[in-house]
């Protein structure tokens, strides 16, 4: 099983399924950690502080990297994607408090 670095900007059919935020909202230290799948069925994990995403053939390898990155700092769950009405569209239950989306 392999993995490769990819640039999500050039990928079509990207589905962002889970996302976490670290740092202050809209602050200079705000970073995101996103997990999802690509159109070809591979899983990806993307850390905005580390550059490109990493795509995996094996879901277990993707989860292992995700867990390793989640253990490095205090991450808060946040909506993975938004619809045209600017409301979360990832299937989760969210409430907006101030400028921050939080699990309901």
10 Å CB burial of residue 81 (0-12, 13-18, 19+) is middle
Cα separation, 37 vs 16, whole angstroms: 7
What is the per-residue pLDDT for 97? 92
Structural domains counted in the chain: 1
pTM of the model: 0.86
What is the per-residue pLDDT for 51? 82
Characterize the bridge pairing of strands 3-6 and 15-22.
Answer: unpaired
Compute the average pLDDT of residues 73-98: 93
What is the per-residue pLDDT for 2? 83
The secondary structure of residue 9, as a DSSP letter, is G
Total Cβ atoms within 10 A of residue 64? 13
Compute the average pLDDT of residues 2-9: 90
Q: Say if residue 1's pLDDT is above 70.
A: no
What is the per-residue pLDDT for 52? 86
Expressed as residue numbers, the domain containing 47 is 3-103
Give the model confidence (pLDDT) of 9-63 as tens digits: 899 999 999 999 998 888 888 999 999 999 999 999 999 988 889 999 999 999 9
What is the per-residue pLDDT for 83? 93
């Amino acid at each position: 099983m392999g993995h490769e670095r990819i640039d999500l900007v050039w990928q079509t059919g990207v589905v962002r399924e889970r996302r976490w935020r670290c740092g202050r909202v809209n602050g200079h230290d705000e970073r995101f950690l996103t997990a999802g799948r690509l159109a070809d069925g591979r899983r990806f994990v993307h850390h905005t502080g580390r550059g490109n995403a990493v795509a995996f053939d094996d879901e277990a390898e993707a989860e292992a990297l995700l867990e390793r990155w989640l253990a490095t700092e205090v991450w808060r769950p946040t909506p993975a994607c938004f619809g045209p009405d600017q409301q979360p569209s990832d299937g989760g239950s969210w409430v907006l408090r101030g400028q921050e989306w939080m699990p309901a």
